[in-house]
């Protein structure tokens, strides 16, 4: 699949993705990409965030490719329960946080847990770091296994955001381009 054949939904996490973040850069370079805007970035409410993602999936006119980072991963997964999966061609998940971890800060992020553990009916890829302060590599392995996702080991890369030196993130762009090229439009059910 080419980027122009998809509605690429950029789903940022807690506090949004700033101007130097790879999600913002990708959004500006991919004509078919659009950010899912949330009303409140610094005090996320699970129901509100999930509803916004579900609305954007429903509004899509082409096959949907989800590109979620951090709390955006959790939000996207929960949104599938509302929006369904019929329009989803694939999902590219980066740095999924462990929202069941009592040590996570701020504490209200735990309201986004737990992750559903159902196998995803579309191709998905998880990029995870071995020293992400918001989610262990073992956590990423467990959800990748449950969802049937390909897991990409990003080494010791922190939270894979601009603060950890992943503003441009050319390696991520190459992995995404390869992932996208292997996707096919979802088949109608029934």
pLDDT averaged over the chain? 95
pLDDT (0 to 100) of residue 93: 98
Which region among 31-35, 72-76, 98-102, 129-133 has the lowest average model confidence (pLDDT)? 98-102
What proportion of the chain, given as a percentage, has pLDDT over 90? 88
- Taking the C-alpha atoms of residue 145 and residue 61, their distance in angstroms, rounded to an integer, is 30
Residue 157: the pLDDT is 96
pLDDT score recorded for residue 94: 98
- Say what the pLDDT of residue 189 is: 54
Per-residue model confidence (pLDDT) at position 167: 86
Distance between CA atoms of 36 and 44, rounded to whole angstroms?
13
Could you please report the per-residue DSSP string of 78-145? HHHHHH-STTEEEEEEES---TT-TT-SSGGGGGG-PPP-PPPSS-EEEEE-TT-TTS-HHHHHHHHH
| Tens digits of residue pLDDT in 20-70 | 999 999 999 999 999 999 999 999 999 999 999 999 999 999 999 999 999
The model's pTM: 0.96
The whole-number pLDDT of residue 106 equals 82
Q: Structure tokens of 145? A: 């296994």
Which one is the CATH code of 3-181: 3.10.110.10, 3.90.1150.10, 3.40.50.1820, 2.40.37.10?
Answer: 3.40.50.1820
Residue 139 has pLDDT above 80, yes or no: yes
**Looking at the predicted structure, is the pLDDT value of residue 190 above 60?**
no
């Amino acid at each position: 699949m080419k980027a122009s054949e998809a509605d690429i939904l950029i789903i940022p996490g807690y506090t949004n993705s700033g101007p130097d973040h790879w999600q913002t850069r990708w959004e500006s370079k991919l004509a078919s990409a659009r950010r899912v805007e949330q009303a409140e970035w610094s005090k996320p409410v699970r129901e509100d965030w999930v509803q916004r993602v579900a609305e954007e999936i429903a509004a899509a006119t082409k096959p949907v490719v989800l590109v979620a980072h951090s709390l955006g991963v959790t939000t996207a997964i929960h949104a599938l329960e509302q929006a369904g999966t019929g329009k989803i061609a694939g999902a590219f998940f980066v740095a999924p946080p462990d929202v069941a971890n009592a040590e996570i800060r701020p504490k209200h992020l735990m309201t986004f847990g737990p992750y559903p553990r159902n196998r995803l009916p579309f191709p998905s890829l998880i990029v995870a770091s071995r020293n992400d302060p918001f989610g262990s590599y073992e956590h990423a392995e467990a959800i990748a296994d449950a969802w049937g996702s390909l897991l990409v080991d990003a080494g010791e890369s922190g939270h894979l955001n601009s603060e950890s030196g992943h503003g441009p993130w050319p390696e991520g762009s190459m992995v995404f381009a390869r992932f996208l090229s292997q996707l096919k439009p979802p088949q109608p059910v029934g």
